[in-house]
Amino acid sequence: MSIDRETYEFYQSEAPFYSFNPAIGPSRHLDAFLDRLTPGARVLELGCGAGRDSARIAQRGFDLDATDGVPAMVAKTKERHGIDARLMRFDQLAANAEYEAVWAHACLLHCPQAELPGVLAAVYRALRPGGLHYASYKLGDGESRDGLGRLHNFPSADWLRDTYRGAQFEWVEEEIFAGKGSDGAERDWIGLTVRRGN
């Protein structure tokens, strides 16, 4: 799997905006997710971007492994927050029962639908038994590009539920909510919290 070129170039060039825009803070779902974890738990963050959630995870005392597939984003996370993020694409995840949690806010939505089952299988393997995974997606009716040219998988809620269950995850909770993307488009999102079984 390679990162979609237009999506990659967008984030590579827009990293300063994501780093310094004061309107972009931690996800509103993050603290509730972290509250489910044991203190000091090992947390993998996929698609850390410029580190807005990374900083909060670290501030709360968790053992963070922040990753992103775009070099400029990794550099901004280090520069802005002093977090030693590392470069890793979704398909390069090869950990085995290493993390209590995998946080993936607004990033797996860029993974092509055909490749998402394999990525979720890798997330499942990376979790320790009982470990939790959070991800959020923009809902829709199939892959397309947004107003900024970025590729999105735009799944239906039912397709996403089936895909997660196919990867053996157990449901914890979900929320469907209205949200506005960076391109200004309003659409429904879904936030999922799931668990690897014991």
Closest CA to 69 of 9, 115, 152: 9
Domains of the chain: 5-20+27-195 (3.40.50.150)
The more confident residue out of 182 and 194 is: 194
Q: Chain-wide mean pLDDT for the chain?
A: 93
Query: pLDDT for 90-142, tens place per residue?
Result: 999 999 999 999 999 999 999 999 999 999 999 999 999 999 999 999 999 99
Q: What is the pLDDT of residue 24?
A: 65
Sheet with 42-45, strands from edge to edge, namely 86-87, 63-68, 42-45, 99-104, 127-138, 186-195, 170-180
DSSP state of 38: P
Token pair for 37: 């974890």
